[in-house]
Chain A
Amino acid sequence: MIRIEQLSKSFGGIKKIPKIDALKNVSLELHDGEITGILGLNGAGKSTLMRLIYGLLEPTQGEIFVDNINVGKSPDVARKKLGVLPDDTGLYKRLTARENIRYYGELQGFSGEALEQKISQLIGWLGMETIAERKAEGFSLGERMKTALARSIVHKPQNILLDEPTNGLDVITTRAVRKLLHELKAEGRCVLFSSHLMHEVSGLCDRVIVIAGGEIVADGSVANIVAAGKGTNLEDAFVNLVQPPLTLAERN
């Protein structure tokens, strides 16, 4: 469970750099056993929100709790409860896929047979058997993404943040990731993922949050969003929500 209370984040504002409000007074709660999708245009504040949750950015205002642990006060404890796949993440190229995953498991405090079993389980779920013992140098985008995903959840975190996890993946790999998300949900975990693919969000998410200009403009089930955006499908509704129709004055 992740609770966000009146969160604001602004960048710049010192010297000649103009101040940008990336997030404005955002409050929300993400529940266990639910897949929440976060939709927004590029630069809407999705990645900023995630970075604030895993504590690598500090909020200008407000607080974040991961399983009731204050991220601002004890970030290291909170990070134990989080599994994160950041956007554009890199692997250790001289290590094999299995070694990459094992390293993260060990950093989370796991070792021995228990860890090896978890690694093998993830390799099975994501269909990585053929690449497990290969060095990451020269991995395709999909292979990299699967390895990164596996290492981010190797410690079975209660809360999982995925920034565009299916970006650029082929159909088979996308299906494997989707299957994994369902597995995680069935285990009662709290999953937040961002995506630009409407069909994926509508097929997968129990709840959708639309973010625009640093604010939440809609929050609810897919049906709720479609209604709120006055569209016939999620895509139309989303476009209407993030880009309000021009007023008469603006048209002229």
Chain B
Amino acid sequence: MENFFNTLLVIFKKELHDALRDRRSLRMAFLPPIYFVGTFVGTVFLILHLQNEANGKGSEPIQLSVLGAEYLPPLTDWLQEQGVKVHKVGDDAYRQVEQKKLDYVLIIPKEAEQQFATGESVVAWLAYDATNSKIQTSISFIKQQIWSWNSRMGSLRLLSRGISPAVVSPLYLREMNIASDQKMGFFVMASLPMFLILSVFIGSVGFTADMTAGERERRSLESLLITPASSAAIIMGKWLTCLVLTFAVLLVELALLAVAFAFIPFNQLGLRVDVSVLDLLGIFAALTSLAVIAVSLQQMIAIFARSFKDAQTYMGVIIFIPMLPMMYTMINPGASEPWFAWVPVLGHQAVVKDLLLGSSLDVIALVKFWLVAIPLAALLLVFTANQLRKPKIVYG
């Protein structure tokens, strides 16, 4: 037994030493967290930007070119009161819109002055290119303001004739959007557990491939197996190395997230994100049990690969395995059942999500994770160790 642990330690030390000199695998392991967190921060700021545009705040005032503004000053005055910057333009405004020199133009005809004075309906034109998505927000804002001016004017005219404006408005529809901006922010936060779980699964893929398929490719495996080192000690030593490296990848990612959380203005998103360092450590604690399974799975797959390239192909499967339970949560969004804790990935996702949204760490769930992880990982490791000295693996 003492022999077993000595060998395990020798293998672990050598593999770690070797791995830290393996630039290719180091890049493969530590760049994705940077991409992940970068993408996350980028998405948050994109949403903030879109939101600011939608609210019309923060961005520049909406510009409106008007041809014939002098024929209907009450309208242009109203628009200006509402924060629209009105520019007077010449007769060729419509052509300018056609030639895309102007984004849109409001055209008020000469008759408008007369028609407005006598209480007739004025026909004005708003010319714009509907395929230009950039102007959508401005156009809808302008339309909305024109409609509200319209109804105000209508009401005033009715009142002056002694009729209640309510006569022409049997119904007022007021919108109350409860989803508002929080939904978007929630969506961003919900993507984090998936990122983290994916990192656990792919964190040490390069190293695992190098330690199993790489040994076969370099033809060093046979010599290793001629030593008295037991197959279990070899596999466990390599497994431990990959596990430690996965932990390192995860810690780097969580540290980057901690920095990101400190700088992202979540309150602008209408989100109250209160993720402390302790919460992040809780996430780490929850994901360690998943890493134990993920690394054993990587090894089992990689041992059947003849070369590093071969292994990379096989490892594609690794990305799909966590996807399967996640599909379930996509079909049943928001679902969280007690039995989730017994299913790897599903349970981890729920706990990580809860921690990010401010709940405290569910210690009972953690215990359940380990009750599943230990036998499962042991099973995978024993299977892999039993393959190791088979002629198919050594000489295949």
Contacts and interface: CB of A to CB of B under 8 A. Distances in A.
A pairs with B: yes
B389 A152 contact: no
Given A56-B394, A86-B223, A152-B223, A77 B218 contact: no
Contacts of B11: 107
Contact of B226 (A77, A86, A91): A86
B228 interface: yes
A82 interface: yes
A56 B21 CA distance: 30
Contacts of A151: 223
Given A76-B228, A92-B220, A93-B218, 15 more contacts: A54-B226, A56-B222, A56-B395, A57-B395, A76-B230, A79-B227, A84-B223, A89-B220, A90-B223, A95-B14, A103-B10, A104-B227, A107-B229, A108-B228, A148-B223
Residue in A54, A86, A90, A91 whose Cβ sees the most chain B Cβ within 10 Å: A90
B392 to A, nearest CB: 11
B17 A95 contact: yes
A151 B395 CA distance: 21
A88 interface: yes
A154 to B, nearest CB: 10
A106 interface: yes
12 contacts: A51-B395, A56-B389, A79-B228, A88-B219, A90-B223, A95-B14, A99-B17, A107-B10, A107-B227, A107-B229, A109-B228, A151-B223
Nearest to B224: A107
A56 B230 contact: no
A151 B394 CA distance: 19
A103 B228 CA distance: 13
Interface string B8-37: 001100100110011000000000000000
A56 B226 contact: yes
Contacts of A82: 226
B11 to A, nearest CB: 8
Nearest to A107: B227
Nearest to B11: A107
A95 B18 contact: yes
A179 interface: no
A89 B395 CA distance: 12
B225 interface: yes
A91 B22 CA distance: 15
Interface in B128-168: none
A252 B394 CA distance: 45
Nearest to A148: B223
Given A56-B389, A57-B391, A90-B218, A108 B18 contact: no
Interface in A69-102: 76-77, 79-80, 82, 84, 86, 88-95, 99
A188 B134 CA distance: 88
Contacts of B230: 76
Contacts of A57: 391, 395
A77 to B, nearest CB: 7
Interface string A108-124: 11000000000000000
A234 B294 CA distance: 58
B225 A108 contact: no
B210 to A, nearest CB: 9
Contacts of A77: 228
B228 A89 contact: no
B7 A107 contact: yes
Contacts of B391: 56-58
A103 B218 contact: no
Contacts of A58: 391
Interface residues of A, number: 30
A108 B219 contact: no
B177 interface: no
Nearest to B23: A94
A58 B389 CA distance: 11
Contacts of B219: 88-90
In order of increasing CB-CB distance, the 6 nearest A-B pairs are A90-B219, A90-B218, A94-B21, A90-B220, A106-B10, A107-B227
Contacts of B218: 90-93
B22 A94 contact: yes
Q: Which of B6, B10, B228 has the most CB of A within 10 A?
A: B228
A54 B17 CA distance: 28
Most buried by B among A86, A107, A109, A148: A107
Contacts of B227: 79, 104, 107-108
Given A57-B391, A92-B220, A109-B3, A103 B14 contact: yes
A56 B227 CA distance: 11
Contacts of A109: 3, 6-7, 228
A88 B226 CA distance: 14
A196 B227 CA distance: 26
Contacts of A93: 218
Nearest to B231: A76
Nearest to B230: A76
Nearest to B215: A90
Interface in A228-242: none
Contacts of B220: 89-92
Contacts of B18: 92, 94-95
A6 B329 CA distance: 62
Interface string B352-396: 000000000000000000000000000000000000010100110
Contacts of B226: 54, 56, 79, 82, 84, 86, 152
B139 to A, nearest CB: 62
Interface string A203-237: 00000000000000000000000000000000000
Nearest to B210: A94
B222 A89 contact: yes
A90 B214 CA distance: 11
